Structure 1
Amino acid sequence: MRPSLLDPLFAPITSLAGVGPKVATLIERVLPADLGDRAARAGDLPFLLPNSVIDRRNRPGIAYAAEGAIVTLDVRIDRHQPPPRGNRSVPYRVYAHDDTGEITLTFFHAHAAYLDKAMPEGEQVVVSGRMEWFNGRPSMVHPDHIALASEAHNLPLVEPVYPLTAGLSGKVLRRAVAQALERVPVLPEWQDGAFMRKHSFPDFRAALERVHNPADPLDVAVEGAAWRRLAYDELLAGQVSLALVRAKVRRLSGRPLTGDGRVVEKLRAALPYSLTRSQEAALAEILADLAEPERMLRLLQGDVGSGKTVVALLAMARAVEAGGQAALMAPTEILARQHLATIAPLAAQAGLKTAILTGREKGRERTETLAGLAGGSIDIVVGTHALFQGSVTFRNLVFAVVDEQHRFGVHQRLAITAKGDAPDMLVMTATPIPRTLVLTAFGDMDTSKLTEKPAGRQPIRTVTLPLERLDELVGRIRDAVAEGQKIYWICPLVEESEEIKLMSAEDRFASLKPIFGDRLGLVHGRMKGADKDEAMRAFKEGDTRVLIATTVIEVGVDVPDATIMVIEHAERFGLAQLHQLRGRVGRGDKPSSCVLLYKDPLGETAKRRLSVMRETEDGFVIAEEDLKLRGEGEVLGTRQSGTPGFQIARIEAHGDLLEAARDDARLILSQDPELQSQRGEALRLLLYLFGRDEAVRLLRAG
């Protein structure tokens, strides 16, 4: 049960005064929390931190106030001049003065009664807003704040500015945040005292107060003590929950997987090449993990084409030697079928039986596969998440490989865990993930890296080309087709949309059809599975030579003799995605090239991205650059898929706190695995505050 102390924060935001269903919907748009399918709560608002401030401490006096400056003035009201009756186009003017000069306060469509009450003639008043000078006369149009001198202490001198959306006013949002802030109870401290002193952290509530009611712009700075305190809370909540998942997953296990090496040796003999040094090292780490009684949780990172699948296959062979079954799960059907194409012929030579299971297998084929898994006659199964649905049972699943992890959240890891007797798990990703993000998303995993390309792979020449030179490019591609080369041509959209004027796959296909005729193919995400497979088959076998595609082919599609990759509107893609797409060529023994077509004028970020692509092919360098340019939520794919899109922490500013949070979480749980100490109880509150309720449930489930 959630502690009742937190109930006020878990009430819907519509329980706040002035927040009806319409305003609630607008506020939900600006909240950093990943709401999933729940409604926003009052407790989400304190974590909506200001993105800047307006500093109103400048009080120069009327005569010394610069044009365009935001100033606060102490003035005496001289007289009101309402517009003539029936003429709303003339503004309402209020004249005032201080010791240095006179000023006109101007209001359009004003409510006379309100202004009379706010600024009575003869009274001392404080106004704050932007100064304007017309023909040497100072004026202020619609001051942001007006207060009688006796109430001036209520004026926010450093005013926080929140992210807004159309239809939501800053005033309404500030009022809602202030009310939510009042509901934050005084909570027991969950941070280590010595750590707090070292970093001069305020307590949790004081940190929130300081950021939302700043006395100085520093209070709202990402590197200021208040923001860092809150970022550390969020990182700690994340690391504690990952560590709890890890502990749960590890606790469930306990059997070493060792074999006599027969099957593994047969497989090695069947390979047409020898493994690279880093493949050998990664395989050794995995086999050592499998031999331990604790359950393996390992992340295998390797750039596109670095040979992860083969390492996974050799590891799966070890699991079969030990008397169990292995499963390989891919995020899409195209990928699952491709893994099978790589694995099945090699496995057959080593005497292993393989099968595939996706949403498409129906009828007898499906029934036979299910029977083979339950009976144990199938050694290795490849599939999509259909593998882990209720109807699928394994005789003895001991090893699961998950491809492209960032599409799978922690929940899926637990679902897989439930399928076997807690299978060992290897996660593979072709998106090189910067070290800091490995900690946030996979803080519960050990990592292996594949850093070399397999022998025989050619470097890829990358060039950038403005769209104006498209005809030249088409001419070059015509020559390449005549020489028998294969070309990918990537477009950002499936069909042209009203809002964005970009070339879509369907339009580009239509424009190139007269030139390439039936040598041209098309594949995109809205096509039926069978049509996609057919388009890929035709390209692979050379019936078509130019394949127009959307980013469907970004991950894992393998056509070794494709040598040219054209990416249209390259400025619209992130670095990681450009790198993934480029990795689809250069897989054979012929030199390959990648053409980044862009539309001028380019923004700074797009320029930097394209030049990084020209400078390096190293996925890890590219990932670090990508993190600098885009921030963490984007690098791991969408923010919604259970990835660390943080509410408060900014990896580029708070990376140093991340390692501290991981070490702290591991230390806490080694001493207090059930979080029952005084600090443990406080940490449970922290987990609830940051929406990590699942982790608290794991504690109860034991």
Structure 2
Amino acid sequence: MSRPSSLDPLFRSLHAIKGVGDKLAALLSRFFGAPEGQEAIALDILMHMPSGVVDRSRQVGIAEAYLNQIVTLRLHIDRHQPPPRGKPHVPHRVFAHDQTGDVQLVFFRAQGGWVEKALPVGEERFVSGQIGFFNGEKQITHPDYIVEADKFDTLPLVEPVYPLTNGLSSKALAKLVRQVVETVPALPEWIDDATIAERRWPSFGEAMRAVHLPANPAEAELWSPARMRLAYDEYLAGQLTLQLIRSSMVAAHGVARQFTGEITEKVTAALPFSLTEGQQQAVEDIRADLAKPERMSRLLQGDVGAGKTVVALMAMAAAAESGAQSAMMAPTELLANQHFRTLKPLCEAAGLGCELLTGKMPAGERRAILARIASGETTIVVGTHALFQSGVVFHDLGLTVVDEQHRFGVHQRLALSDKGRHTDLLVMTATPIPRTLVLTHFGDMAVSVLRQKPKGRQPIDTAVLSIKDYGRVVARLQARLAEGAQAFWVCPLVEESEHLEVVAAEDRFAELRKVFGDQVALVHGRMSAAAKDEVMSRFAANELKLLIATTVIEVGVDVPNASIMIIEHAERFGLAQLHQLRGRVGRGSQRSACLLLYKEPLSDTARARLDTIKSTEDGFEIAERDLELRGQGDVLGTRQSGMPGYRLAVPDVHRHLLDFAHEDAKAALAVNPGLVGERGEALRTLLYLFRKDQAIQLIRAG
């Protein structure tokens, strides 16, 4: 089925709307972030929510109009006092009155006689604006509206205020909004009657009208029934999409795996420690998923150092018992190498063939590895996304493990699982994700959480110091390095410019080199991967004592001997980033320290961030706090990666509706998986309305 024709008015290009020329259309397309080469459409304007309202409904006599109030007055125009010749900075004043008093209307640089035309002497006009005082007289400077007495109904008494962009006036946008709202078609209702009645929600069309053309200020509030309804609709469309992805990935494609236990037992015996309770629980969850005929789609969340790699290995060992291969994919070669180093000795002990496949290998070596993967001799393959290029053929790929999932979204989850027709999917992330975000971005996945740190992990002493103490910090560092410790020194991005970022790190490197000589080295984002890897491996081998870095070390570098982390300009980092960076130390047996150096003056938010990091090492608590301080798009770094940012829902106010939407979407698809019949058609309309066309293709497949 294609998009219902009833929605056509909302999908027409902006050019079809009266008063939109090429220039305005181009401006709006940029503003609404239309995909490259496409224009914004009427729907973009409809979904552009007001950020507040101006209330002009206070219609009083001049006597009751008080300072700084916005009022609407019915005035009799008495006389004009234009500025004297040659004094353009003197304003044009218009004197007016009603039965209760006098008021002046003031216009600066009013050329061309338009003021006289708009306010003819002897006539009545409605005037709306903010009351000011000048020399004891009431006045309105540059009224927002001047309307003839018989056209009063064109004056918006409750006026929504919209986020704007350079070159777009609020009046022009309001006019467009009004035109688009008039064309919202009558749509079939996708919410059941009981819910609508219980929550007293209007229909979709009525809700849009209430928010954009409110009759009173309360209608446009974020917690008004209209806005709640629209936020719920947006969440519901997102949750339906995730559930459809889940059912298309899970639907009857899976293989019910059988386990002998012999390989997992060998791996367990080879481990230098016993699994934590959380790890054990996660392994059981995964085995239960693998044993079912549906495909597994599970998210494994664990803080930095909670031991996710070992859980993944147990899962891969279980898959091997049923004769299947596993692939483990990391976001960078550095991380792929590290996973491989962790896994290889354990695999050997259990008799599993384990290989590393990266883009940089010599051709001959690569061919030999590809042959072993294709023949099934290799059971576990570790690599970057190069694993999923067309030249790589698996004998029988049963399980895909993806590390640091937030780097790629739903589309990639679908592409990945195409490599193995029946592949189970396990996704690992070290970014602790608050529950609300798990629902919005991973609502299609089951979740396991590792909360404990593995045994032997040392707590990290965290201190916050002003950069003024630089001298003391360096002296202390000298003493610690002399005792055999290793340290990271992280410099921030400066002004978001790569060039400056390197300068900042290079300046610090030059300074510290005077003290530490060739014991110190530098890594930053503009070095080649090979150069970075070379420095990192020298640091890991303890040939270097101090590593100065930009945030390239944020994810996953493992140097157990490094026990000191110094973060310069800590006030410039987000909470999640600070937490990730701190997690680079505390991996060995000695007590570790993290120093946060800040520069005055600190903003309240920055102070709150530093206090949070100082007071807790619990990544989940930090993530919840981060969500409060930053808003949700940033927590996952999704501002760039095109994850669903919301336009109608405001998470802080509407978060509770997400849970409803999650349950409702599950229930709707459980009764009506093909979305057929009247209710099904209505839900499809909802998906089109929120442009989830990708999900609609999945219904057909199902």
Which TM-score band applies after superposition, normalised by the shorter structure? Answer: over 0.9
Quick one: structure 1 residues 503 and 58, their matched pair in 2 at CA, closer, same or farther if it must change by over 3 Å? Answer: farther
User: What's the TM-score once normalised by structure 1's chain length?
Assistant: 0.95
Matches within 5 A, 1:475-624: 475-493=475-493, 497=497, 504-624=504-624
Once the two structures are superposed, residues 640-680 of structure 1 have per-residue CA deviations (whole angstroms, 9 ceiling, x without a partner) of 42433212222222222112111111111111111112011
The alignment status of 1:56 with 2:19, answered yes or no, reads no
Partners of 2:251 and 2:366 in 1: CA distance: 33
User: What's 2:267 paired with?
Assistant: 267
Give yes or no for contact 1:336–1:383 (8 Å, CA) kept in 2. Answer: yes
User: What's 1:3 paired with?
Assistant: 4
More off after superposition, 310-319 vs 38-47: 38-47
More off after superposition, 93-102 vs 691-700: 93-102
Provide the secondary structure at the position in 1 that maps to 2:639.
coil
2:12 counterpart letter in structure 1: A
User: What's 2:28 paired with?
Assistant: 27
After TM superposition, give the deviation of residue 81 of structure 1 in Å.
Answer: 2.7
After TM superposition, give the deviation of residue 30 of structure 1 in Å.
Answer: 4.8
Give yes or no for contact 1:9–1:41 (8 Å, CA) kept in 2. Answer: yes
More off after superposition, 178-187 vs 282-291: 178-187
Once the two structures are superposed, residues 474-523 of structure 1 have per-residue CA deviations (whole angstroms, 9 ceiling, x without a partner) of 22222222222111112221798599999832332233222222122211
Quick one: structure 1 residues 591 and 60, their matched pair in 2 at CA, closer, same or farther if it must change by over 3 Å? Answer: farther
Give yes or no for contact 2:14–2:25 (8 Å, CA) kept in 1. Answer: yes
Once the two structures are superposed, residues 92-143 of structure 1 have per-residue CA deviations (whole angstroms, 9 ceiling, x without a partner) of 2222112232222122232444323322211111111222212212222211
How many residues get paired?
701
Give yes or no for contact 2:254–2:424 (8 Å, CA) kept in 1. Answer: no
After TM superposition, give the deviation of residue 63 of structure 1 in Å.
Answer: 3.8
User: What's 2:253 paired with?
Assistant: 253
User: What's 1:235 paired with?
Assistant: 235
After TM superposition, give the deviation of residue 28 of structure 1 in Å.
Answer: 4.7
More off after superposition, 203-212 vs 114-123: 114-123
1:342 counterpart letter in structure 2: T
Give yes or no for contact 1:493–1:503 (8 Å, CA) kept in 2. Answer: no
Give yes or no for contact 1:495–1:507 (8 Å, CA) kept in 2. Answer: no
Provide the secondary structure at the position in 2 that maps to 1:521.
strand
2:313 counterpart letter in structure 1: L
Partners of 2:483 and 2:34 in 1: CA distance: 51
2:270 counterpart letter in structure 1: A
User: What's the TM-score once normalised by structure 2's chain length?
Assistant: 0.95
Give yes or no for contact 2:566–2:594 (8 Å, CA) kept in 1. Answer: yes
After TM superposition, give the deviation of residue 193 of structure 1 in Å.
Answer: 1.1
Provide the secondary structure at the position in 2 that maps to 1:66.
coil
Quick one: structure 1 residues 21 and 633, their matched pair in 2 at CA, closer, same or farther if it must change by over 3 Å? Answer: farther
1:8 counterpart letter in structure 2: P
Provide the secondary structure at the position in 2 that maps to 1:273.
coil
Partners of 1:528 and 1:266 in 2: CA distance: 39
More off after superposition, 488-497 vs 229-238: 488-497
Matches within 5 A, 1:318-333: 318-333=318-333
Quick one: structure 1 residues 5 and 97, their matched pair in 2 at CA, closer, same or farther if it must change by over 3 Å? Answer: same
Matches within 5 A, 1:170-189: 170-189=170-189
Quick one: structure 1 residues 218 and 298, their matched pair in 2 at CA, closer, same or farther if it must change by over 3 Å? Answer: same
Give yes or no for contact 1:519–1:543 (8 Å, CA) kept in 2. Answer: yes
More off after superposition, 97-106 vs 205-214: 97-106
Give yes or no for contact 1:104–1:139 (8 Å, CA) kept in 2. Answer: yes
Give yes or no for contact 2:328–2:381 (8 Å, CA) kept in 1. Answer: yes
Provide the secondary structure at the position in 1 that maps to 2:272.
coil
Give yes or no for contact 1:569–1:598 (8 Å, CA) kept in 2. Answer: yes
After TM superposition, give the deviation of residue 278 of structure 1 in Å.
Answer: 1.0
Matches within 5 A, 1:245-644: 245-493=245-493, 497=497, 504-644=504-644
Partners of 1:441 and 1:36 in 2: CA distance: 24
After TM superposition, give the deviation of residue 613 of structure 1 in Å.
Answer: 1.0
Give yes or no for contact 2:49–2:648 (8 Å, CA) kept in 1. Answer: yes
Matches within 5 A, 1:83-162: 83-85=83-85, 87-162=87-162
Provide the secondary structure at the position in 2 that maps to 1:504.
helix
After TM superposition, give the deviation of residue 329 of structure 1 in Å.
Answer: 1.2
Partners of 2:633 and 2:72 in 1: CA distance: 39
More off after superposition, 371-380 vs 582-591: 371-380
Partners of 2:365 and 2:550 in 1: CA distance: 31
Give yes or no for contact 2:77–2:123 (8 Å, CA) kept in 1. Answer: yes
Provide the secondary structure at the position in 1 that maps to 2:258.
coil
Percent identity over the alignment is 55
Provide the secondary structure at the position in 1 that maps to 2:557.
coil
Quick one: structure 1 residues 15 and 308, their matched pair in 2 at CA, closer, same or farther if it must change by over 3 Å? Answer: same
Give yes or no for contact 2:158–2:214 (8 Å, CA) kept in 1. Answer: yes
1:340 counterpart letter in structure 2: F
User: What's 2:223 paired with?
Assistant: 223
More off after superposition, 82-91 vs 415-424: 82-91
Partners of 1:660 and 1:468 in 2: CA distance: 51
After TM superposition, give the deviation of residue 87 of structure 1 in Å.
Answer: 4.7
Give unmatched runs, 5+ long, in structure 2.
Answer: none
After TM superposition, give the deviation of residue 540 of structure 1 in Å.
Answer: 1.0
1:75 counterpart letter in structure 2: L
More off after superposition, 254-263 vs 610-619: 254-263
2:100 counterpart letter in structure 1: T
2:631 counterpart letter in structure 1: G
Give yes or no for contact 1:158–1:215 (8 Å, CA) kept in 2. Answer: yes
Partners of 1:259 and 1:684 in 2: CA distance: 41
Give yes or no for contact 1:490–1:567 (8 Å, CA) kept in 2. Answer: yes
Once the two structures are superposed, residues 275-315 of structure 1 have per-residue CA deviations (whole angstroms, 9 ceiling, x without a partner) of 11111111111111111111111111111000000110111
Once the two structures are superposed, residues 228-287 of structure 1 have per-residue CA deviations (whole angstroms, 9 ceiling, x without a partner) of 100110111011111111111111513111221121111111111111111111111111
User: What's 1:13 paired with?
Assistant: 14
Structure 1 vs Structure 2 CA RMSD: 2.2
After TM superposition, give the deviation of residue 161 of structure 1 in Å.
Answer: 1.1
Provide the secondary structure at the position in 2 that maps to 1:593.
strand
More off after superposition, 382-391 vs 607-616: 382-391
Provide the secondary structure at the position in 2 that maps to 1:152.
helix
Partners of 1:30 and 1:472 in 2: CA distance: 49
Partners of 2:170 and 2:366 in 1: CA distance: 57
2:50 counterpart letter in structure 1: P
Give yes or no for contact 1:485–1:545 (8 Å, CA) kept in 2. Answer: yes
Partners of 1:528 and 1:247 in 2: CA distance: 42
More off after superposition, 670-679 vs 162-171: 162-171
Partners of 2:94 and 2:24 in 1: CA distance: 33
2:157 counterpart letter in structure 1: L
More off after superposition, 56-65 vs 188-197: 56-65
After TM superposition, give the deviation of residue 25 of structure 1 in Å.
Answer: 4.8
Provide the secondary structure at the position in 2 that maps to 1:639.
helix
User: What's 2:190 paired with?
Assistant: 190
After TM superposition, give the deviation of residue 346 of structure 1 in Å.
Answer: 1.4
2:371 counterpart letter in structure 1: A
Quick one: structure 1 residues 591 and 395, their matched pair in 2 at CA, closer, same or farther if it must change by over 3 Å? Answer: same
